[in-house]
Amino acid sequence: MNEKRTEIADLGEFGLIDRINQHISLQNLTSLKGIGDDAAVIDIGAENLLVSTDMLVEGTHFDLSYTPIQHLGYKAVAVNISDIAAMNGKPEQIVVSLALSNRFSVEAIDALYEGIQSACKNYNVDLVGGDTTASPSGLVISITAIGRVKKNKTVLRSGAKANDILCVTGDLGAAYLGLQVLEREKEVFQANPNMQPELEKYDYVVGRQLKPEARMDIIYELEEKNVVPTSMIDISDGLASELFHLAKNSKTGIKIFEDKIPVDSMTYDTAIEFKVDPITAALNGGEDYELLFTISPTDFEKLKNYPDIHFIGHTHDQPHQHLMITKQGTAVPLKAQGWKHF
Amino acid sequence: MNEKRTEIADLGEFGLIDRINQHISLQNLTSLKGIGDDAAVIDIGAENLLVSTDMLVEGTHFDLSYTPIQHLGYKAVAVNISDIAAMNGKPEQIVVSLALSNRFSVEAIDALYEGIQSACKNYNVDLVGGDTTASPSGLVISITAIGRVKKNKTVLRSGAKANDILCVTGDLGAAYLGLQVLEREKEVFQANPNMQPELEKYDYVVGRQLKPEARMDIIYELEEKNVVPTSMIDISDGLASELFHLAKNSKTGIKIFEDKIPVDSMTYDTAIEFKVDPITAALNGGEDYELLFTISPTDFEKLKNYPDIHFIGHTHDQPHQHLMITKQGTAVPLKAQGWKHF
């Protein structure tokens, strides 16, 4: 045997997805949009059904030595709801599959489901099914979320036009810095188990890492203001990576302004402490689960006074030119680093 | 700390599901049926949407030392489609999530997706989304299938009435015996790697284990014959276990006849070789992915000549009396053994 062996790391996660996707064609008329957006879009008549799925793996996505298992349950739901939000949809149901080793007690599973059900209540979704199975080691949580959106309000990654305004909700980089704090405290604890972790001054960034929220409030706000974004994506891998996805799918260029990127003051201080540029954390940190979207300039007036939406730049008609204007006024090429799991 | 610790094994899989389910209430009017059937049922207007999910874990559900990875991909889809079939529905979409370690090459993933896409083509479903992520060890496949069924043709586990006829498709016990053959050949190979496995005379039972089919053909046949079963379930854990589920949900008793349980001749011979009672394999073996359903006696004429549907007994009005009439004519209590993963 002399078979070719290509390592997954050589392709990367997005390369692997592209490779899988190239062989796929859709057969059913009800399959409106397959792989390549935050959620699949299925025709159910007057509305579209949205389906998103995410898998969280112990040792890759979470570390139970510092993650309360209730929060993990909550987060597993929230990250899926965030994908439904990114299509401008409202979630209605989830199914939850778990693989877990006998290291986990029934009480631990109860706590995990407490978090799951707390998120279900907050986002008004029903847990309607799942699968629970043994695993040789560790915990894997796979959730599929189902939502709905009116046909004419469905927002894809591909709808931005040149000169649309780029909007970001909330603030960025906190979840990444929260992870750095938790990893540091873990090391300190491992070196000296009598040390108590000092997390008070990091409560915001740590909370953003452990218990992120899907921005459904923004989806309801957009509805109330009668604004349909021209394109949207949730910020799971870092702002820069998501900007590239929007630009590629919409065939536009990107111009953003460094001084418009929203960074919370505790995020800023923690970044400085960790010797990380706060803007780098915001651009490449990931796991913020905020929304990045574009609006037509004509909709700007409707949103300009909303405190939690930030206007960070605009699209333009040079599809491959993605620039950031620094605080000093210099134009630098935008780079996407993103997450590397493989 | 003196927290209570209960082992999952003390509850078992069904006990754990009951425990999780007892805290769940449905909030959305569109959530018609949650946990407790082969698939969740969601109201989408003229039709019902069906959602089922299954997770396959390396080391628990499959062993890649004798499972061709293409077949694994095919099987992962088929077992989900089988759940949609068990609601009398037709599948339309799937989403696929994978967690995999760097032991797997890109070529192995290609082969896995070949199997997945082969099943998609066979069952006319579209792969519309998923998630691919790294895992510290092993392979986990989580698939969610989405299907549809007309409102008045949706079949639950709970609809059987006393004196309905119990029907089983295909034949039972083969997948279990296929697994025994594969495990034996693995041991032989490990003892002497120069030995070639002898699988020709076991091709049927091995094929039933490695590449089961969802019985969508039966769903189309029932539609053509204009028969709507009164209740249905797919046989994943063994006939006896599924009979108990139907009986419990429908609040009926069960009477089956040993000589009516369909067992293929190769299954029979292999069972004898392995010193297993063929009927025990059929009752408790699992992974057959055939359909167990009940029909009103008035529908018997429409199905009686269909070669692949077997009439194994009937329901009755004593909810806790589940009997098998042996070949000798003795009534013995039916026992469900099922699978124990934990």
Distance between CA A294 and CA A180 in Å, rounded?
31
Domain limits at A298?
Answer: 165-333
- Are A134 and B99 an interchain contact pair (Cβ–Cβ within 8 Å)? no
- Return the pLDDT at A70: 97
Contact between residue B131 and residue A143 where contact means Cβ atoms under 8 Å apart: no
Is B338 part of a structural domain of the chain? Answer: no
Residues 6+ apart with CB under 8 A from A216: A81, A85, A90, A91, A123
Q: How far is CA A115 from CA A48, A63, A170, A174, in A?
A: 28, 16, 23, 21
Q: Is A2 on the interface with B (CB under 8 A)?
A: no
Cα separation of A116 and B35, whole Å?
15
When computed from its CA atoms, the radius of gyration of chain B, rounded to whole angstroms, is 20
CB of B239 within 8 A of CB of B313? no
- Report pLDDT digits (tens) over A182-238: 999 999 888 888 877 778 889 999 999 999 999 999 999 999 999 999 999 999 999
- Rounded CA Rg of chain A: 20
Nearest CB to A13 within list B6, B132, B142: B132
B201 lies in a domain?
yes
Mean pLDDT of B251-265: 97
Burial of A252 (0-12, 13-18, 19+ CB in 10 A): buried
Is residue B341 in a domain?
no
CB contact under 8 A, A17 and B132: yes
Token pair 């929007």 is at which residue?
Answer: A246
Question: B263 with B173: CB under 8 angstroms?
Answer: yes
A58 touching chain B per CB within 8 A: yes
**Chain B residue with the nearest C-alpha to that of A15:** B106
Residue A290's SS3 state is: strand
Report yes or no: A30 at the B interface, CB cutoff 8 Å: yes
List of chain A residues whose C-beta atoms are within 8 Å of the C-beta of residue B31: 92-93, 126, 128
A84 and A197 belong to one structural domain: no
CB contact under 8 A, B39 and A134: no
User: Full-prediction pTM beyond 0.90?
Assistant: yes
What's the per-residue H, E or C state across chain B? CCCCCCEHHHHHHHHHHHHHHCCCCCCCCCEEECCCCCCEEEECCCEEEEEEEEEEEECCCECCCCCCHHHHHHHHHHHHHHHHHCCCCEEEEEEEEEEECCCCEHHHHHHHHHHHHHHHHHHCCEEEEEEEEECCCCEEEEEEEEEEEEHHHCCCCCCCCCCCEEEEECCCCHHHHHHHHHHHHHHHHHHCCCCCCCCHHHHHHHHHHHCCCCCHHHHHHHHHCCCCCCEEEEECCCHHHHHHHHHHHHCCEEEEEHHHCCCCHHHHHHHHHCCCCHHHHHHHCCCCCEEEEEECHHHHHHHCCCCCEEEEEEEECCCCCEEEECCCCCEEECCCCCCCCC
Nearest to B8 among A9, A97, A106 (CB): A106
Whichever domain contains B254, its CATH number is 3.90.650.10
Q: Are residues B169 and B114 in the same domain?
A: no
Nearest to A127 by CA among A89, A88, A74: A74
Same domain, A232 and A322: yes
Decide if B21 touches A, using CB distance below 8 A. Answer: no
The answer to the question of residue B160 being in a domain is no
Distance, in Å, from the CA atom of A97 to the CA atom of A55, rounded to the nearest integer, reads: 9
Indicate whether B133 and B179 sit together in one domain.
no
Residues A105 and A202 in one domain: no
The pLDDT assigned to A2 comes to 54
Q: For A80, which residue in chain B has the nearest alpha carbon?
A: B131
Which of A59, A102, A146 minimises the CB distance to B136? A59
Distance of CA A166 to the CA centre of its chain: 17
Query: CB of A64 within 8 Å of any CB in chain B?
Result: no
Three-state SS string over B44-55 comes to: CCCEEEEEEEEE
Q: Which helix (H) or strand (E) holds A300?
A: helix A300-303
List the B40-43 sheet strands across, edge first.
B31-33, B40-43, B47-57, B139-150, B90-100, B126-134
- Measured in residues, chain B has a length of 342
Say which residues have a Cβ less than 8 Å from residue A163's Cβ, sequence separation at least 6: A297, A314, A315, A316, A317
| Minimum CA–CA partner of B8 in chain A | A106
Residues A203 and A250 in one domain: yes
- Same domain flag for A297 and A225: yes
pLDDT at A193: 82
**Is residue A111 in some structural domain?**
yes
| Chain A to chain B Cβ contacts (< 8 Å) | 264
- Short-list A327, A325, A166, CA closest to A245: A166
| Structural domain ending residue among the three candidates B153, B182, B209 | B153
Minimal CA–CA distance to B292: which of B329, B250, B264, B337? B250
CB-CB contact of A161 with A296 (8 Å): yes
A:289-318 residues touching chain B, CB 8 A cutoff: none
Q: Is B30 found in the same domain as B62? A: yes
Contact assignment for A11 to B128 by CB distance below 8 Å: no
Q: CB–CB of A8 and B106 under 8 A?
A: yes
Q: Which two tokens mark A82?
A: 């965030």
* Contact status, residue B172 vs residue B289, Cβ threshold 8 Å: no
Domain boundary among B99, B120, B153: B153
Provide the shortest C-alpha distance from residue B183 to chain A (in Å). Answer: 18
Which residues neighbour A219 within 8 Å (Cβ) at sequence distance 6 or greater?
A85, A88, A89, A90
B106 touches chain A (CB under 8 A): yes
Same domain, B59 and B177: no
Torsional class of A133: left (φ above 0), alpha (ψ -120 to 50), beta (otherwise): beta
Q: What percent of chain B has pLDDT over 90?
A: 84
Which secondary-structure segment (H or E) carries A210? helix A203-210
Same structural domain for residues A135 and A266? no
Of B45, B59, B95, the CB nearest to A53: B95
Residue A19 touches partner B, C-beta closer than 8 Å: yes
What is the number of structural domains in chain B? 2
8 Å CB contact between B133 and A61: yes
A82 CB within 8 Å of a chain B CB = no
**Domain presence at residue B38:** yes
DSSP state letter for A164? P
- Structure tokens belonging to residue A3: 């078979």
Residues of chain B in contact with residue A33, where contact means CB-CB under 8 angstroms, are: 128
Q: Are A282 and A173 in contact (CB under 8 A)?
A: yes
Strand A47-57's sheet: what is its strand order?
Answer: A31-33, A40-43, A47-57, A139-150, A90-100, A126-134
Identify whether residues B201 and B321 lie together within a single domain.
Answer: yes
- Residue B278 pLDDT > 70: yes
Final residue of a domain: which of A118, A153, A188? A153
CB-CB neighbors (< 8 A) of A52 in chain B: 95, 129
- Residue of A13, A45, A138 with shortest CB distance to B136: A138
Nearest to A95 among B40, B120, B137 (CB): B40
CATH number of the structural domain spanning residue B32: 3.30.1330.10
Residue A328 C-alpha, separation from nearest chain B C-alpha, in angstroms: 39
Q: Which of A27, A132, A142 sits opposite B13 (nearest CB)?
A: A132
Residue B294 in domain: yes
Q: Does the pLDDT of residue B1 top 50, yes or no?
A: no
Question: Half-sphere exposure of B74 toward its Cβ, with a 13 Å CA cutoff?
Answer: 20
- Look up the ipTM and state it: 0.93
Are B170 and B296 part of one and the same domain? yes
Res A15: pLDDT: 86
Distance (Å, rounded) from C-alpha A154 to C-alpha A33?
11
What gap in Å lies between CA A149 and CA A294, rounded to an integer?
Answer: 18
Whether A157 and chain B come into contact, CB under 8 Å, resolves to: no
Q: Is residue A15 part of a domain?
A: no
Q: What is the reported pLDDT for A257?
A: 98
Q: What is the DSSP letter of A251?
A: T
B33-37, B165-169, B232-236: segment of lowest average pLDDT: B33-37
Query: Angle between the A265-273 and A203-210 helix axes, to the nearest 10 degrees?
Result: 100
Any A CB within 8 A of B94 CB: no
Residue-level pLDDT, tens digit, chain A, 342 residues: 457 899 988 888 778 888 888 888 899 999 999 999 999 999 999 899 999 999 999 999 999 999 999 999 999 999 999 999 999 999 999 999 999 999 999 999 999 999 999 999 999 999 999 999 999 989 999 999 999 999 999 999 999 999 999 999 999 999 999 999 999 999 988 888 887 777 888 999 999 999 999 999 999 999 999 999 999 999 999 999 999 999 999 999 999 999 999 999 999 999 999 999 999 999 999 999 999 999 999 999 999 999 999 999 999 999 989 999 999 999 999 986 644 455
Q: Are A256 and A324 spatial neighbours (Cβ–Cβ below 8 Å)?
A: yes
